Amino acid sequence: MSDIQIEDTGKRKTYKTLGIGVLLLLAVIIAGIWGTFKFVESQRIRDIRNWEIRLGIVADSRTASVEDWLRKQEQAIGTLATNASLQVYLTQLVVETAENGNSISEIPEAGYLINLLNNQAVISGFWEPEEPQIRANVSRPGRAGIGLTDSTGKLLVSSGNMPPLNPTIRAAMAKAGDGEPALIDLYEGINGDPTMGFVWPVFAVQDEGGAKDIIGYVIGLRTVETSLFPLLFQPGDTTQTAENYLVRRDGSLVQYISPLADGTLALTRKLSAQGDLAAAFVIDRPGDFTIATNYLGNKVLVTGRTLSVAPWFLVRTVSEKEALAETDQRLSTMLGIFILLIFGIAGTVIAVWRHGTSLRAAELAVRYKEIADRLKERSEFLKIVTDQQPTAIAVFDGDDKYTFANKVAAEDIEISQEEMIGKKAVSVLGPAQAKEIIEMTNLVRSDYEPRSTISRFHVGEEDRIVKSDFIPLRSARVNNKEVLTVFQDISDVIVARERREAALRSLVSTLVAFVDRRDPFSADQSRRVAKVAVAIAEEMDATEDMVRTVDIAGNLMNIGKILVPPELLIKTKNLTQKEMEIIRNSLFASADLLDDVDFDLPVATTLRQLQENWDGSGQPQGLVGIEINEAARIIAVANAFVGMVSPRAYRSALSFSAAVKHLLEDADIRFDRKMVSALINYLENRGGRESWKYFSENLEEETGKGKK
């Protein structure tokens, strides 16, 4: 065979080998692209299912919040409708107006009902501040309120600012005529404010509760712009296009009854229920999930829930583009990585052909060793740092196994750090102590939010109080479940605080007893003021610090009387202006005496502001409204009430009703109306009259008049 033939044969073999290699490379590329698309599609389906779960959780949460709000509004009106006093007085109103022809102003019961409606309106939110008048003698109609009508729908009495009864309200009253409460569905109220409410039938006392026994209706109306609609916002929502809104069916249309993200106001947009409208899908199939078109024509992932209290539907959507952006990005990334991988493989083959792999492998081995050495040094450094900390530090993985523990954590349970690694919290700490840790780590993994707890353990004859911090460890790893825990023994701090609190209570009791011995006519007044102030604060759901402040300040408000001459405290004749001034200044003296006592609470500031008035006419600084310490506003109402219903050396006690009347007359002048309303609610609905009857010597006389 000639050299040319040999060369040709060699070339053909080379070309054949090269062709086979190219075909194999193309096959690998095609298979890789196909596999990439299949994988990304499966990830897309999985992501959509994850979004279905996420949207459903938010929809359930917001639906529960909206329904809870609706039930509270309905219950606020229902409480009035079932109030026995209201039933009796409304019956009297109906008889006097319908049968005897008297006007409302001539009926004494009307005043009680108006006060009751005003108090309930302020407490439950069916109250809107009066708007400024347009011009003289032309007032704006109200936006919210509570009213009482007779069985024909004639409005008898109402709280201030009650809106007029429109056809929507009267339609709800017609439904309530069957004997069951009815919803006043959302409508455009005064100035276009979204307004809703409830109608409750009022039955005659001791009747069976049928439609024929209805004597009237309680109507409650309120705006929802700042109370209901904010509940649609999901706390912690980090998505840019997610949206929650309320809709209802309006014939063949869908009406959007809450504000929309594009700035559309509530009750202003209606769209056809035909096609793939997201809101229409929720109305037809609440609880299901799909990809549809929102009110702007954009593709969104959507689910929703139906509300049981109102004929509404809650819609939860998120833009398809945002929701699946990660999936699309994953496709682009994987394709890019795959192409780079192909080029890398080709380059590696060429490199192997030309240079071999021995030198490259040696270089990689050196680099990997250097990296391993650096990681080892860093781990040793972190171990040294954490071992020097006085607190126990540990890391738990998704199965609640130890992946790290410092020296203190190991010493607390008397085993080595190496033995702890890889073991579950239950096997190391025991079921009781591990239970709380496992519950908190699971909560942290659910939303990646740090949490802290304080726990008390009984060890031997001592109690140990431990503050535990749980911090999620974020990293580049997907779905990282590790949680860093830090345990700090705060037993000494807590015990010292409890001892200080006990000593403080003992000091307060001693000082109060000392003042009471000097002023026998007002003995126990400060205790009573503190008791009433605590009741008002708790009625307003005040913080624990606020309750403690009014309790301590109320008990110590009269400590300044140690500087008042004893003969002035027991004087039975009317006090002169100068003598009254001396007693009033004793409040400032109380504040001065307690200025340097460390209560960790604004006790002295509260006492110094007790004579400030809501309208700014008080002393010593002339503070106005909420510039006055909230605790001072509470104690001012409590002190005035106790002072009026308690006998004094120079006068007899007032009745509870007379004291309440005086407080209402001074509301928004001397006192904050909210505090006065809270006190009245406690007296009327929490048994305050019965539990405080020993305050006044005239209680039996007052009760007897009430029975007559």
At 570, the pLDDT band (50, 70, 90 cuts) reads low
Is pLDDT of 95 > 90? no
Max mean pLDDT among 198-207, 299-308, 646-655, 681-690 falls in 299-308
Is pLDDT of 699 > 50? no
Distance CA 176, CA 170 (A): 10
Q: What mean pLDDT comes out for the span 6-26? A: 69
Residue-wise pLDDT for 629-658, tens only, equals 999 999 999 999 998 998 766 677 888 999
At 704, the pLDDT band (50, 70, 90 cuts) reads very low
Distance CA 176, CA 225 (A): 26
| CATH superfamily of the domain spanning 389-489 | PAS domain (3.30.450.20)
Is pLDDT of 3 > 50? no
pLDDT value at position 542?
92
Q: Phi/psi zone of residue 275: left (φ > 0), alpha (ψ -120 to 50 degrees), beta? A: left
CB-count exposure of residue 606 (10 Å: 0-12, 13-18, 19+)? buried
Residue 575 token pair: 């006090």
At 564, the pLDDT band (50, 70, 90 cuts) reads confident
At 705, the pLDDT band (50, 70, 90 cuts) reads very low
Q: Note the residue count of the chain.
A: 708
463 or 114, which is more confident: 114
pLDDT value at position 382?
66
454 or 237, which is more confident: 237
pLDDT value at position 364?
64
pLDDT value at position 457?
64
| CATH superfamily of the domain spanning 82-127+141-223 | PAS domain (3.30.450.20)
Just give the CATH number of 507-707: 1.10.3210.10
pLDDT value at position 2?
46
Q: Looking at the chain, which residues constitute the CATH 3.30.450.20 domain(s)?
A: 82-127+141-223, 389-489
SS3 105: helix
397 or 410, which is more confident: 397
Residue-wise pLDDT for 150-189, tens only, equals 999 999 999 988 899 999 999 999 999 888 999 999 999 8
Residue 379 token pair: 């781990």
Residue appearing with tokens 């523990």: 405
Q: Quick check: 286 and 256 in contact, CB under 8 A?
A: no
Q: What mean pLDDT comes out for the span 536-561? A: 89
210 or 287, which is more confident: 287
Q: What mean pLDDT comes out for the span 219-230? A: 94
Q: What mean pLDDT comes out for the span 29-51? A: 81
pLDDT value at position 14?
63
Q: How many CB atoms lie within 10 A of CB 211?
A: 13
Residue 506 token pair: 């003992």
pLDDT value at position 361?
55
pLDDT value at position 11?
59
Q: What mean pLDDT comes out for the span 694-704? A: 51
Is pLDDT of 360 > 70? no
At 537, the pLDDT band (50, 70, 90 cuts) reads very high
Mean pLDDT for the chain? Answer: 82
DSSP code at position 220: E
pLDDT value at position 57?
95
Max mean pLDDT among 19-33, 41-55, 283-297, 566-580 falls in 283-297
What are the angstrom distances between the C-alpha of 102 and each of 90, 156, 202? 14, 12, 21
Is pLDDT of 399 > 80? yes
DSSP code at position 266: T
Distance CA 298, CA 304 (A): 17
Is pLDDT of 290 > 70? yes
Per-position DSSP letters for 416-482, written without gaps between them: -HHHHTT-BHHHHH-HHHHHHHHHHHHHHHHH---EEEEEEEEETTEEEEEEEEEEE---SSTT---
What does the radius of gyration of the chain's CA atoms come to, in whole angstroms? 37
